Chain A
Amino acid sequence: MRRLFIKLTIIITVVLLLFMPVNNFVKHSHDYNIDHAILAFKKHPYPVDIINLGASHSMYGYYFKPTGLSHLDLALPGQTIQYDYKLLREYGKYLKPGGVVIVSISQITFANSETKNVGNYYKILDRTEIEPFRLIDYYSYLYVPGSNSGSFNSALSGKLKNFKWNSHQPWANNGKNYSERKYAKVEAQYREAVENDNIERNVKQLKEIVDYCNEKGYRVILTMEPAHQSYQEYFNEEVMNRLVFQYLNALELDVPFLNYMSDQRFVDNRDYFIDPDHLNSEGRKMYSWIVYKDLKKLGYL
C-alpha cells in the first residue's frame, strides 16, 4: 500500500507540474477570455446607450465608440437566443432610459439550440441561469481550463491561426469554400432543430425578448449584419427565407428590421471582412456608423 501511495504521489506531482503551464496557456488565451469585456463591465458597470445581442456576427459587428455612444456588447460566439434573453435580463438595467437594444438576427438564430460554450457564461451570469449546470464542469472550467479539451483546442487554434489546409483558409476560392462549409453546418443545424422542434421555441424566445424590451421601455431593433458576396451565394434569398424570414415574418413584430446582409457597401469588398461572414475592425467601424445614422433617422437616438 505504501509503495503504491508513493508511486501515485510521484506521478500526480509530475502530472501537475507539467499541467500547470498548459493551464496557464489556456487561461490567458483569447478564446477563454472572450467574455472579458462583459466581465469588466460587470465589475464596473456604467449607464449605456446601446446594447447588442447575438452570436459572432454581432460580436464582430459593432463598435460605437467613434459615434460617442456608450455601448455594451453582449454578443458571444454561437450564442443562442435563450442566452440573449438571459444576458438582457442581467445587464438591461444599465441601459439609459430610452436606450436601444440591437437584436441581431442571423442564419442560426432560429436553428441554434445548443449552447456549446456554456463556460463563457459562468462568470457573467448567475449560476442559476446556466443550463445545464454541473458543479464539476463549473469549477474545472474556472480553475483548470487546461483540462477542457475544447478550451485547449481553441487556445491552440488561436495560436496557430494559419495552420489550416489551404482550402480551409477563409478566402480560399474567394471565400466560397468557407461559405460552403458554413452552409453545410447551418443546414445540419437547421435539420436538427426542425426534428427536435427547437425552431418554435426560439421564435417564441425572440417574441419574449421584444415583449421584455417593450415592458422595460427599451427601444428594440432587429438587425442583420453584412456578409460577403461569396456567403450570399449559399445563403441566398430562398435559403434565408427558409431559415429565417418565414418565421420572422409570421411573428409580425412591431419593430424595425434593418437588414444589411446584402448591403452593396460591403458585399463586394473583402477589405471589410475577416472571413465571408464576419466583419473586421475596419468593416465594424464603418458598419456601426451606418447603423448609428439609420437609428438616428428612425428617431431612436
Chain B
Amino acid sequence: MTFISIEFLLFLAIIVFTYYLIPHRLRWILLLVASYVFYAILSIQFIPLLLASTAFTYFTGIIIEKQETRKQKKKVMLFGISVLLFFLGWFKYFNFVNDSLRAIAKYMDWNYTVPYQEIVLPLAISFYTFQAVSYLVDIYYGKQKAERHYGYFSIFFAFFPQLVAGPIERAKKLLPQFKVEQNFNYENLSYGMKRIAWGFFKKTLIADRLAPIVSSVFDSPNPTGSQIVLATILFSLQLFADFSACSDIAIGCARMLGINLTENFKQPHFAVSISDFWSRWHITLSTWLRDYVFVPLCKGKKKRSEIYLAILITFLVSGIWHGAAWNFVLWGLIHGFYRVFGDYTKHFRAKMASFIQLDRSPVLHKWVKIAITFLLVCFSRVFFRSDSVTHAFENAQLFLTINSWRPSGIVKAFEIFSLLDLVIFIFFFIIVQIFQYIERKNVSTWEWLSQRSIFARFAFYIFIIVSVLIFGVSGNGFVYGGF
C-alpha cells in the first residue's frame, strides 16, 4: 500500500472518519495502530526494529533528563545517538564500507576476508533516526522535555503520513499537536484533500511519466551527450515532482487529522543561489543538518576556512544520508564546494555583475542567477542519478561537453519521448508552472483559487481528478522512499 493507491485513500478515509468519531483520549491509539499497520503493510519484517528504536529513544530521553550534570547528560545523549546511528550504519552503510575496504585491500594487495552481507535497508530508517537524534539533542539542550506518554511518543516516531519520506519533524512541533484535541474543521479537511490531489497530480502526471524516459537514457549503454543533458534536466523535474508530491500527500493527510506538518519545498528550481536552493529544497533536512551538524561544528570557530570546512562536512553528511554509495558522497561534496565557492566569490560576482551592467536590469539578473543555479543543481544530479561513480563521471563528462548543448542535438534528444508522451507531458508541465507562478506571487494557489467563482474552482478540482484518473501513471515508489 503506497501513497499512490486506492488502498491508501480508503485506509486514510477510514482513519479520518474514525478519528473524528471517537473521543480525543482514544485518538492516540487509533493513530498509533494506523501508523504501525501502515508500516507493517509496507515492511513488516522491520516492525521490531521500529519498536526497539522507539523504546530505546523514549527511555534514553527520560534518562538524559534525569541526569544532574550537563556532562552526564551529554554522555547519555552521545550513547543514545551512537546506538541509533549504529543501527542506521549497520543496515545502510555496512556494505558500502565493506565494499570500499575490499576495493582498497585489493588495490593494496592486502588480505581482506569480510564477506558481502545480504542486508535489506529498513524502510524509513534514515528519516526516523534523524527525528530520534534531534529529539535526544533537544532534550540535552533543554529545548524539549522528555515525553512521558509512551503512546504519544510512539506516534511522533512513526506518524504514518510522514514516516516513509518525511518531512523530518521536531518533537516540539509535532508532540503538542497530538495532545491537543483536534476538532472537526471543514477548512482542514478540504485543504488536506486538495494537497493530496495535487500530490497525486505531480506524482502521476509529471514524476512517473518522466521516470521511464529518464531511465531509458541513464540505463542506456551509449547515450549521446545531448540525451544526457536533456535526461538530467528532466530528472531534476522528476525528482522535484516526485519528492514534493510525497510531501504534499504527507502534509495533506496530516492536515485532514488537524496536524500541521512543516513545508518541505519552496519552488527550489527558482532559487537564485545554491544557499537559496538549500533553503527551498528538502527544507526539513536542510534545517536538521544546519541545527545538528553545521552549528555544532561551527561552535567556537571564527576563521573562514574553519566555517568552510564545516560546510563541506555538513554537505558530506547530507550526501551520505541520501545513499550509501560514492556517487552520493560526491554529490554532497559538489554541493559543499558550490556553497563554499559561492560564498568565497560573492563580492567578486557582484562586482562582475556591476561591471557588465547586469545589475541594472534586476529582472534579467535574477533570471540569469536562477538559470545558473538550476544548471549547477542539474550537474550535481548527474552524480545523484548515475548508477555508479564510473558512470557518473562518464555522464558528467558528456554533460560538460559543449557539443552536448547544441540546440539541434537537444531538439533531436527529445525523441527519447514518444511524440504523444511529449505532448501530454508538456501540457501537464505547463499546468504545474502556472500553479507555481501564482505561488511565486506570494499567494497560496489554493487561496487564490478560493477567490474565484465556484465554477472555476470546481472545474479545476475536476480537471485534477480526471487528469490523474485518465493520464496518471502509477507504479513507481517515491525516490526518497528508498533512502
Q: Does B bind A?
A: yes
Q: Which residues of A pack against B, CB within 8 Å?
A: 1, 3-4, 7, 10-11, 14-15, 18-19, 22, 136, 140, 146-147, 149-150, 152-153, 156-157, 160, 163-165, 167-168, 184, 187-188
**A7 vs B6: C-alpha distance when bound (angstroms):** 21
Partner of B220 from A136, A156, A184 at Cβ < 8 Å: A184
Q: List 15 A-B contacts (CB under 8 A).
A: A1-B186, A4-B186, A4-B189, A14-B462, A15-B469, A19-B466, A22-B470, A149-B470, A149-B472, A156-B420, A160-B420, A163-B419, A165-B418, A168-B418, A187-B221
Given the known inter-chain contacts A10-B458, A136-B7, please indicate yes or no for A168 contacting B469, CB distance below 8 A.
no
Q: B465 near A165 (CB under 8 angstroms)?
A: no
Given the known inter-chain contacts A1-B184, A149-B473, please indicate yes or no for A11 contacting B462, CB distance below 8 A.
yes
Given the known inter-chain contacts A4-B189, A149-B473, please indicate yes or no for A18 contacting B419, CB distance below 8 A.
no
**A174 vs B190: C-alpha distance when bound (angstroms):** 56
**A4 vs B418: C-alpha distance when bound (angstroms):** 41
Q: Which residues of A contact B473 (CB under 8 A)?
A: 149-150
Partner of B461 from A11, A19, A147, A164 at Cβ < 8 Å: A11
Q: B419 near A165 (CB under 8 angstroms)?
A: yes
Q: Which residues of B contact A153 (CB under 8 A)?
A: 420-421
B207 to chain A: closest CB distance in Å?
A: 13
B266 to chain A: closest CB distance in Å?
A: 29
* Residue in A7, A136, A140, A156 with the greatest tally of chain B CB atoms within 10 Å: A7
**A156 vs B418: C-alpha distance when bound (angstroms):** 12
Partner of A146 from B419, B421, B470 at Cβ < 8 Å: B470
**A95 vs B466: C-alpha distance when bound (angstroms):** 46
Q: B471 near A149 (CB under 8 angstroms)?
A: yes
Q: A168 near B419 (CB under 8 angstroms)?
A: yes
**A150 vs B186: C-alpha distance when bound (angstroms):** 36
Closest to A153 in B: B420
**A147 vs B462: C-alpha distance when bound (angstroms):** 15
**A160 vs B422: C-alpha distance when bound (angstroms):** 14
Q: B415 near A167 (CB under 8 angstroms)?
A: yes
Given the known inter-chain contacts A4-B186, A136-B7, A157-B420, please indicate yes or no for A14 contacting B458, CB distance below 8 A.
yes
Q: B465 near A15 (CB under 8 angstroms)?
A: yes
Closest to B7 in A: A136
Q: A152 near B466 (CB under 8 angstroms)?
A: no
Q: Which residues of B contact A1 (CB under 8 A)?
A: 184, 186
Partner of A18 from B204, B462, B471, B472 at Cβ < 8 Å: B462
Dominant secondary structure at the A interface = helix
**A168 vs B190: C-alpha distance when bound (angstroms):** 45
Q: A147 near B469 (CB under 8 angstroms)?
A: yes
B17 to chain A: closest CB distance in Å?
A: 11
Per-position binary interface string of chain B over residues 446-480, scored 1 when its CB falls under 8 Å from any chain A CB and 0 otherwise: 00000000000010011001100111111000000
**A4 vs B420: C-alpha distance when bound (angstroms):** 37
Q: Which residues of B contact A150 (CB under 8 A)?
A: 473
B463 to chain A: closest CB distance in Å?
A: 9
Partner of A164 from B184, B219, B419 at Cβ < 8 Å: B419
Known interface pairs A136-B5, A149-B474; 14 further A-B residue pairs with C-beta atoms within 8 A, sorted by A's residue number: A15-B466, A15-B469, A18-B462, A18-B466, A19-B466, A140-B6, A147-B470, A149-B204, A149-B473, A152-B470, A153-B420, A157-B420, A163-B419, A165-B415
Q: B470 near A19 (CB under 8 angstroms)?
A: yes
Closest to A164 in B: B419
**A33 vs B405: C-alpha distance when bound (angstroms):** 44
Q: B415 near A168 (CB under 8 angstroms)?
A: yes
Q: Which residues of A contact B418 (CB under 8 A)?
A: 157, 164-165, 168
B-side interface size class? 20 to 34
Q: Which residues of A contact B189 (CB under 8 A)?
A: 4
Q: Which residues of B contact A146 (CB under 8 A)?
A: 469-470
Q: Which residues of B contact A18 (CB under 8 A)?
A: 462, 466
**A146 vs B470: C-alpha distance when bound (angstroms):** 6
Closest to B189 in A: A4
Q: Which residues of B contact A4 (CB under 8 A)?
A: 186, 189-190
**A146 vs B466: C-alpha distance when bound (angstroms):** 10
Closest to A8 in B: B193
Q: Which residues of A contact B219 (CB under 8 A)?
A: 188
**A184 vs B223: C-alpha distance when bound (angstroms):** 11
Q: Which residues of A contact B472 (CB under 8 A)?
A: 149
Closest to B10 in A: A136
**A164 vs B418: C-alpha distance when bound (angstroms):** 7
A155 to chain B: closest CB distance in Å?
A: 10
Closest to B473 in A: A149
**A140 vs B469: C-alpha distance when bound (angstroms):** 11
Q: Which residues of B contact A149 (CB under 8 A)?
A: 204, 470-474
Per-position binary interface string of chain B over residues 186-203, scored 1 when its CB falls under 8 Å from any chain A CB and 0 otherwise: 100110000000000000
A247 to chain B: closest CB distance in Å?
A: 22
Q: Which residues of B contact A136 (CB under 8 A)?
A: 5-7
A23 to chain B: closest CB distance in Å?
A: 9
Q: Which residues of A contact B421 (CB under 8 A)?
A: 153
A136 to chain B: closest CB distance in Å?
A: 6
**A153 vs B186: C-alpha distance when bound (angstroms):** 37
Q: Which residues of B contact A19 (CB under 8 A)?
A: 466, 469-470
* Residue in A10, A11, A164 with the greatest tally of chain B CB atoms within 10 Å: A11
Q: Which residues in chain B, 359-392, are within 8 Å of chain A measured between CB atoms?
A: none
B422 to chain A: closest CB distance in Å?
A: 9
**A245 vs B398: C-alpha distance when bound (angstroms):** 36
Q: Which residues of A contact B221 (CB under 8 A)?
A: 187
Q: Which residues of A contact B469 (CB under 8 A)?
A: 15, 19, 146-147
**A3 vs B454: C-alpha distance when bound (angstroms):** 13
A81 to chain B: closest CB distance in Å?
A: 23
Per-position binary interface string of chain B over residues 393-420, scored 1 when its CB falls under 8 Å from any chain A CB and 0 otherwise: 0000000000000000000000100111
A272 to chain B: closest CB distance in Å?
A: 26
Q: Which residues of A contact B5 (CB under 8 A)?
A: 136
Q: Which residues of A contact B420 (CB under 8 A)?
A: 153, 156-157, 160, 163
**A214 vs B247: C-alpha distance when bound (angstroms):** 57
**A160 vs B418: C-alpha distance when bound (angstroms):** 12
**A150 vs B221: C-alpha distance when bound (angstroms):** 27
